[in-house]
Amino acid sequence: MTTTLIGLLAGSAIILLDHKVTFYLSSLLITVSAGTSATILLLLYLSLRRGPAERLIDWVLGLASSISRGRLNIAKWRERILNVLRSFHQGIDVIRAHPRNLIKPVIFSVLSWFFYLSTYHMVFYALGLDVPFAVSMVVFSISVAVQTVPVGIPVGLVEIVMTTLYTLFNIDIAISGTATTLIRVVTFWFRILIGYAAAQWIGVEALLRRS
Over the stretch 39-92, which tens digit does the pLDDT of each residue have?
Answer: 778 877 877 777 888 888 888 877 877 777 767 777 788 888 888 888 888 888
Q: Please report which confidence band the pLDDT of residue 149 belongs to, taking 50, 70 and 90 as the band edges.
A: low
At residue 208, the pLDDT reads 58
- Is the predicted pLDDT of residue 1 greater than 50, yes or no? yes
Phi, psi of 19 (to 5 degrees): -130, 155
pLDDT in tens, 80-130: 888 888 888 888 888 878 888 888 888 888 888 888 888 888 998 888 888
Closest CA to 95 of 106, 107, 110, 84: 106
- Judge contact between 156 and 169, C-beta under 8 A: no
At residue 152, the pLDDT reads 47
Mean pLDDT value of segment 2-14: 72
Task: Tell me what pLDDT residue 206 has.
Answer: 63
- What is the percent of the chain with per-residue pLDDT over 90, rounded to a whole number? 0
Average pLDDT rounded to a whole number, residues 4-29: 72
Q: State percent of the chain over pLDDT 70.
A: 86
Helix (H) or strand (E) holding 149: none
pLDDT reported for residue 170: 84
Q: Name the burial class of residue 206, with classes exposed (0-12), middle (13-18) and buried (19+) by CB atoms within 10 angstroms of its CB.
A: exposed
Mean pLDDT of the chain: 79
Burial class (CB in 10 A: 0-12, 13-18, 19+), 136: buried
The domain spans of the chain are 2-210
Q: What is the mean pLDDT of residues 131-150?
A: 78
Tell me what pLDDT residue 88 has.
Answer: 82
What pLDDT is recorded for position 93?
Answer: 80
What is the rounded distance in angstroms from the CA atom of residue 75 to the CA atom of residue 64?
Answer: 12
Tell me what pLDDT residue 155 has. 61
